[in-house]
Structures are given as C-alpha cells and as structure tokens.
Structure 1
Amino acid sequence: MIAVAVLGLTVVGGVTARPAAAADSTPYRAQVFTRGYDTSKVVSLTFDLDWRTGTPAENAVSKANLDTVLRVFAANGITGGFGMTGRFAEQNPVEAKNIATQGHKIFNHSYSHPDFMTLTQAQRWSQLDRAEAALKAAGIASAGWFRAPYRSGYMDSGLNRDLALRGYYINLDWTFDTTGYQAADWATVSARIDKYTVPGAIIVMHVTIPSTDPGNLQRVIDKLRGMGYGFVSPFQAVTRGPVRTKYFAIGGPAFFGAATTADLDATTTDTAVQWFQNGRIYYSPASAAHYVGGAVLTKYKAMGTVTSLLKFPITDSLPAAGGGRHYDFQGGSIYWMSATGAHEVHGAIRTKWLALGSTGAFLGYPISDETAVTGGRASQFQGGNVYWSSGIGAHEVHGSILKKYLSLGGTGSRLGLPVSDEYTVSVGRRSDFQHGAIIWNSTTKATSVIYY
C-alpha cells in the first residue's frame, strides 16, 4: 500500500489507516473514504438528504426532487448512496424506506445535522443513536456508515475514534461537491466535473431546494459517460481485489449485506479481511478469498479467526449431511447443524473422522471442540468419540463399549487410550486399549473388560 500524509493522519487510497493492531481486530478509527478504491475510470454518485418540515409547497418540491433522483438512477441502472439524517427518516419514513428498497446505500448523516466538531463525545453518540433509531423505525439501517454534516472534522482523528467506538467504521466522505445545493447553474457544475473528476471519485449532490442537482442529474451522468467514466455503487467502491470479486460472486449486498469496515490486513500486508453485515471475507495468496458467516463465524471468532489453529478459510460454506453446513480452513474445519451448534475438528482426529464417513456416518456431527484428555486429545461426536495421542494415532470408540469405557474413567482409567477402532469378534464387537480391551456380546448385550 502507498501512504500519504494528510492532516497528520495516514491516508491509504483515500482511506484513513488505523494504528497497528492485532490481526482481524476491531478497527481503531473509522476509515475515511474521500474516494473509492478503484483506479479505473469509474465514479460513485451520492446525495445528502435532510430537510425540516417546511411549507407544503416546499415539501412538495423536495419530494419531487427525490422522485426525480430515484427515477434517473433507475433509468440509468445506477446504484447510488444517500447520506440521510434521522429527522428526515422520522418525518418521511415511506420515502426513506423506498430509497433503500430500490437498492441504494444509506449512511447515517446524524440526526439533526449539527457540526460534529462542536459536540462532545456523548453528544456525537446521541446524534448517531437517534439517527440510527429513526432509520430502524423506517425499516432501514446504515450498517455502520457515516457522513459528517458540513464535512466538518471528517479527517479529525478524535471524531473518527468516537465513530469507531460507537460501531461506525466507514466514514464515507467525498471527492467533490457539485455545489448544486447553492443553486449552481449547469456551467458551474460542468466545470467542477471537468476539474475534479478522478478515477474512484465520490461525488456528492443534494436533494433539497434550492438544489439544482436533481434537475441536472441526467446531464451529470451523460457528461461523465462522455468523459469515459462508468459508475460503481458505494457497496462496490469500498471493496477491492479478491475480496470484491468474492463479494459480488456470492451475490453482493443482496446476500452478504454491506461492508461494515474498509479492506483490512488480516495478518500481513499481502492478506486481507473485510467485515460485512452477514459475515466476513478473508484472503491470503495461499487460500484465495472465501467468506465465513453465521454460527460458524461466531465459533471462528471465538477461536481467534486467522490467528487460531484454523488459520484462513479455504472454502465457502459447504453442505453436510442432515441439512448442516461446514467450512474448511487451512488448519481444520468447523461443522454446524441446528441440533449441535458449531464445533471445530482438526488434525489426526479430523482425518480419522473423515475416513469413517464424517457427518454421513455413525459418528455424525461433532458436539465438542477438540479437548485435552489424559495422555492425548479427544473430540466428541453425536455417535461416539475419537481419541488421539502421538504414539498411538487416532481411534474411535462408540456405542456400548464407549459407555462402559467412560464409566470406568475413560482415558484416565487403567485401560488408557484406545489403540484400535471397534471391530468384529466371534461373540460381537471389541475395542482394544493400551492396557486391555472391552468386548460387547451381541447375544447378551453385556460388556466385559479385559486388563493386561
């Protein structure tokens, strides 16, 4: 990554970099996007949206402006972004919901549009909370995206720290303003487009009267196309590389929601992770890009994600027997089904379990993570246990033999660890252990123990 100093902070491709942190950890500050990640000729179109209740005539014009913006976006196949205040959503919940329903990205633009640099931390959080509550009441959410009113303090480290502490990790700023909100004529707007448009630019416009932006929107689009520019949604603008490719391959915002962080180093600078509403996408050169979500992500996070023994995912979600799912990682797997929850299995125990048929065979799903036992390691499954030690390898014990073995104390008993899987003998079934055996009689259904 190439970094440039701006206002005492580090900016990476238009994004404020966070201080050094543990791998895959919560961002220390909101990441400021003054432009998207793209280096090709594309731009993102956004509008800021706030109006107080005015006269019926003023409200009618503003709503007509909003209708115009949505109609022009739809006619041109463009997904835009809207910095929306809480009071707008509160006063106009139907219009607010309609914007999101049409697929556009919403960002929290505060509740009442104050200058955040004049507010205390508590007041900033109150503005964010009230706005998010109003968005939620309208059936929408910002997903942790913010845009500063008046652009005040948008690069301030303290403000961006306060945002992150409240769960806002994306501060979607902009590259240039058309100044349509000042009733700028087309010549002025056109000149600004010529002067300030760059690859990845985020352009901000305004809806409310006296803005000329709604009426000029089609001309803005046509001019940019004439300059050789295409359009990317805000959803796309804050993603890049293999993570972006995976994100859109699996359905983009429709499946995975919006990104909730910028692109982050997962471990080292050649790896990446990005958090989304419905999961995370991880990338390393050795593993490629894969997503993790749901209860499996919860388990993976509890283990330490990429710093855990599992390391990076090497598959997306895969089906397993009985309606369950699993993900494979460099260091093992996590399996989930509703009846058992999510549990990891790895190493020689996983190899043995897979050889025995995994979820589709008698052992079924794991019901524990791998744990230490006397002399070795063990994982519990629906239909039995698999034990391992370095000198013996991995072996399963199940059914009546397992029940007897556990009643004697399992690996801590005189029998020690299993040295065979269960196998057939003349009277029924048998499992061998370090210091004996357990035999199950198929006629009497009784178990007997041999020590040696």
Structure 2
Amino acid sequence: MTLAPAFETRWMLSNARSSRFGAAVVNAFWHTEEGNASAVQLAGFCGNPANNASYHDIVRDRIVCHVVDDDFASWSVLNANPSSYNLCFAGSRAAWTEAQWMARADDIRIAVWLTLEVCRRKGTIATEILAEGGGKYRRGSGIADHAYVTKILGIGNHTDLGIYFPWWFAKQILGEYLAPAPVPVVVLNAIDEEYKRIGGETSWLGLVEDGELDCRTRGGKYSHFDNGAIYWSPETGAKAIPNHLLDAYAVYEWETGPLGFPIGDHTVLTGPDGKPWGDVQGFEGGPLYRKFGQDRGYRVHGLILATWRRAEFENGELGWPTSDEITLDNGDIVQHFEGGDVYYSPTGTVALRPTDGPDHHFPISH
C-alpha cells in the first residue's frame, strides 16, 4: 500500500450538520467551490449554520479542514445528505480543464486517501469510482461527484466536478492505496525516511535507541529515539512524536487507545510574547495538546473541541486543557481548562468561565 500523502490538518468543526437518521453511508461525493477561497476560509463559511452549506472535509494546497464529523450528515447534496460523505476542493470550478485539475494533483491524491479512510471506517461504501469520465457514470455504491447526484439520483441541478475532471488519475491513485501492504523491509524504510526528513541524527529526535518494533494493532511499527519516537501504520504512514507528548500518548494506551496513530507533524505553538508555549499534534482520534510546564498533555475532540475552537483555542479565555474528559454521575461530560470548564450533554456543549458576576457562557454546540 502507498503511504498516506503529506498534509496539514485543521479541526474547524461546524454545527451545520444533521443526523443521518439511521441511513447507511453508500456514496462519497466530491465538489467544487466555484470560488477561490482557501480551505480555512471555506471552512469558516461552512462554520455558520445560517449559510446552509457544509462538507465533511475541505482540501486545498495540502491543507485539510475537518468541518463535519462523518457520523453526521453534512449539508451538501439535499436529500442525499444522510447517505453520503462529502468533500470539497476549495478554490476550484466545474469549468476547469484537465490541466487545471492536474495542477492540483496533490489535493486529488489527498481526496482519494481521505475518502478511502471513510470507506474503511463505514464499511458500507464500495471502494470504487463510479465516474467514467466525460460526464458518464455507473449507478451504485462508490465514489463520484455532485453531477452524479443530479444525473443518476435526480436530485438538484449541480454539474460539478465538471466533465474535464481527471477521474483516470483518481482511479490510478485509488489503485495504489488498495495495493497490498509492503513487506517489512519497506516499513523500515518508511521510518528511516521520516527520520531523514526531520534531519536524522542532527534533528530534535537525536539518536536511535532501538530498532523497529511491532505495534499491538493494525500491523504498525515504531522506533524509539533520544527525544521521541516514530510510529508507522499502513494507513497513516510514519510520523514522529516528541517526548513532550509521548507521556500523554502512554496514558491513552498508545496506538490501541482513543488517539490511534499520529496523522500529522507535531507543531510548537507560540504564546502572545512569540515564545514557544506548548505542543500540538494530530492523531486519528483528535489532537493532543500540552502546554510547556504541565505534567502531561490532553486530548480534546468532538463537540468539546468545537466549543474550544469558538473560544479561540489556547489563545482565548479558556486557555489550555488541564484534564481529560470526566464523566459525571448524570452521564454528562466535563473537561477542565485553565480558564473554565466545557460541559457536554446529548443536547450540546457549553463553556463556563468563573467571573465575579454570572458565569460567562461561550457559544453552545449542538
């Protein structure tokens, strides 16, 4: 199997979503923006439910914005929303030529990988492309575009991605990702390549402490270094984790726990004074944050992450997370932050920050 493409992940979760009402997810549909927004700009637009539009994922220039969790329906294809996963190429148009689309070949590769991951998680979407090119389609479960919804399902009147989209290239990439996993020597090369990419022996990882070891799940591998470790799986590729975050990763039971494998590079965040403030790294089960000086890092995900985002993450009044999620006696969940708490219940989330007067409420997520 070809390793996962390199991209930066942003979690910009939106309330512009609906229940799937028990519907099986049987199709994945790709869309154009018909504009020139960045992935972050388009995700911001989709973050406002009043705009009545959203996608599960938005891609542009190797940046992926997760907007709607795929357990929910995005607002993309009218009556087909409950049974579909939807991805949009920000800054794209249905009138593009094949050459214009191929200039975004990296984003097409990322779109194939993201969609294939949804197919694997759901287990109800056929891992095949229904588009034949030139506006022709086969009916069934699989991957297509918004024009399929119009022509085959008879819903709406959209024509994106357009007749010049290079479905041949998407099929080629899909075939690469569906190929058998490499033999162990290739796995070792993947960890070595990640080590070299970071800088090898002169990098922040330092020197290798042990050889390649087997993970406890999914055929993964890892190697320890002076200042961190590199984890690899066939689905996610190889990513380095610093010791600052490995302590917390251990608390969450490594790759077998809710975090899963790392999917992004770790990033050092800077504070208002411009000095390093803490670490963040994306994992399959959500980002892991650790402020420098804290005993360990904490996972923030789901609707609590969405509420923290609205409060401007660590730069806002809530500050950094200081606890894991805690389940209360009534079944509600709370997570503590430096400046207050975020509560979750089946009806939504609310953040409370202590003040001299009434509690300060951040926006509620439903």
TM range (shorter): 0.3 to 0.5
Which protein is richer in helix relative to its size? 1
Question: Normalising to structure 1: TM-score of the pair?
Answer: 0.35
Q: Which has the larger radius of gyration?
A: 1
Question: Normalising to structure 2: TM-score of the pair?
Answer: 0.43
